[in-house]
Chain A
Amino acid sequence: MMDPNTVIESYVRDVTARLPGRDRTDVAMELRALLAEELAARSAAEARPADEAMTLALLRGFGSPAQAAMRYRPTPPLLDPADTRPFVLSGVIGALALAAIVPLGAPHAPKDAATTAILAWLGLLVLVFATRNWAHRQWPSLAAWKPRDPDRANRAANMALVAVIALGIVCYGAPHTVFALFTRARLPPSLEFAPQFHAERLPWLLALWGLTLLLYAWVTVQGRWRPATRRIEAGLALASTLVVVWFLSDGPIFQTGDVDRTAKAWLAVIAVAMLADAAVKITRLTRAAAPPRRPDVSKLAA
């Protein structure tokens, strides 16, 4: 049997240990006094001396030390409950993607590389969502909802995309020149494209990239996406995916066997991402073609 004062003291210690140092002494003094008074009142009401069971019953009503400390000094949640769905979705999709991609893209990596990558991804997600939640609390205007016009072109993003595509065309179209420009050396033979790939297959991808570049440049100038440009965008995305799948299935890309195998593994990963992107764009097109039914206003008025 514990002495009631010892029980109260233990509880007060556990509550205040969870509070900032500057509050501890004061809260402890007050809580100790109040609990003693509550216990004395309970003892008087029950006409018997306070014991351990009575003290524990009182403290159970007060809540666990963690709950009591939380009421003294509420701490905001690490993650916003409103973010639960996107957080879980990002976690699950990212983990599944990493479980599939890591063994494919890095075949010589240690066995637990996928587990490490998944844990790193989950840690990164917690960090990103917690930082976002903190920023929204600090600057509520950041969290304010803003209407978004899905057909309005994001000029800065489009320009960045045009630059990236142009860079890709130059790097893949003239690898010798780019390599010499940055390293002042000749392209190592291990990084040489297979002649047949370079002559027959690569030009198709470069041509599609060129058309995509022109499309994004055109939309940037226009400032808006139209149904026709959306259809062309989806068609180019699908065609580029099919060309990459063709690269995977038909002959070597690089002259050196090891380089070719690694490149194809990564290209397979990229093909999956491209396929997902094309699927999103095609789905958006089909949704736009069948707009949601709206109520008949004239019937409502009648």
Chain B
Amino acid sequence: MVEARIEPSDKLEQELRRGVVVLAVLSQLREDQYGYSLRQALAERGMPIEEGTLYPLLRRLEGQGLLRSEWRIEDGPPRRYYRLSGAGDRLFGELTASWRELNQVMDRLLDEGAR
């Protein structure tokens, strides 16, 4: 009974988080990161993203021209590093503005609802 009530809310929370995954990823790629280090960085900042979601997402964003990448061999195995491209940087600016606007609207709506 309790599970039946929890399951939809988990799903809805996942939906909420899914909407901001791209923006969260772009925010961390103003400097070079490889997949695992990016996942760690996001998790440390309170945004854990499953590896099965994050790694393919990086490839898709690169395919869309929003990221550029290169293979590097430093102190360990070869790793593919990602960074925002020019188009990615512009999109990041736009999405950040949209997010802030949306956040304000949601704050107003939630404050009104709480009254």
**A contact residues vs B (CB 8 Å cutoff):** 23, 27, 29-31, 33-34, 36-38, 41, 61-63, 67-68, 71-74
Alpha-carbon gap, A37 to B50, bound state (A): 14
Whether B60 is near chain A, meaning CB under 8 Å from some CB there, is yes
**B50 and A61 form a contact (CB under 8 A):** yes
**A71 and B57 form a contact (CB under 8 A):** yes
| 23 examples of A-B residue contacts, CB within 8 angstroms | A27-B59, A29-B71, A29-B80, A33-B77, A33-B78, A33-B79, A34-B55, A36-B77, A37-B77, A38-B36, A38-B51, A41-B36, A61-B51, A62-B50, A62-B52, A63-B52, A67-B52, A68-B52, A68-B56, A71-B52, A71-B60, A73-B60, A74-B60
**For A37, what are the chain B residues with a Cβ–Cβ distance below 8 Å?**
36, 77
Chain A binding surface SS class: helix
**B51 and A34 form a contact (CB under 8 A):** yes
Instruction: Please encode chain B, from 57 to 89, with 1 for each CB lying within 8 Å of some chain A CB and 0 for all others.
Output: 101100000000001000001111000000000
Closest 7 CB pairs of A and B: A71-B56, A62-B52, A72-B56, A37-B36, A63-B52, A34-B35, A30-B80
Alpha-carbon gap, A34 to B77, bound state (A): 10
Given A34-B35, A37-B36, A71-B57, 17 more contacts at CB 8 Å? A23-B59, A27-B59, A29-B78, A30-B59, A30-B80, A33-B77, A33-B79, A37-B77, A38-B36, A61-B51, A61-B52, A62-B50, A71-B52, A71-B53, A72-B59, A73-B60, A74-B60
A222 → B minimal CB distance (Å): 52
Instruction: Please encode chain B, from 28 to 66, with 1 for each CB lying within 8 Å of some chain A CB and 0 for all others.
Output: 000000011000000000000011110111011000000
Chain B binding surface SS class: helix
B38 → A minimal CB distance (Å): 10
Alpha-carbon gap, A31 to B57, bound state (A): 12
B14 → A minimal CB distance (Å): 14
**A30 and B50 form a contact (CB under 8 A):** no
Alpha-carbon gap, A71 to B59, bound state (A): 9
Cβ-defined partner of B60 (8 Å) among A31, A63, A67, A72: A72
**For A33, what are the chain B residues with a Cβ–Cβ distance below 8 Å?**
77-80
A260 → B minimal CB distance (Å): 64
CB-nearest residue of chain B relative to A69?
A: B56
A58 → B minimal CB distance (Å): 8
**B36 and A31 form a contact (CB under 8 A):** no
Alpha-carbon gap, A157 to B33, bound state (A): 62
B48 → A minimal CB distance (Å): 12
**For B36, what are the chain A residues with a Cβ–Cβ distance below 8 Å?**
34, 37-38, 41
Alpha-carbon gap, A33 to B77, bound state (A): 7
**For B50, what are the chain A residues with a Cβ–Cβ distance below 8 Å?**
61-62
Alpha-carbon gap, A30 to B77, bound state (A): 10
Alpha-carbon gap, A38 to B55, bound state (A): 12
B41 → A minimal CB distance (Å): 14
**For A36, what are the chain B residues with a Cβ–Cβ distance below 8 Å?**
77
**A30 and B55 form a contact (CB under 8 A):** yes
CB-nearest residue of chain A relative to B52?
A: A62
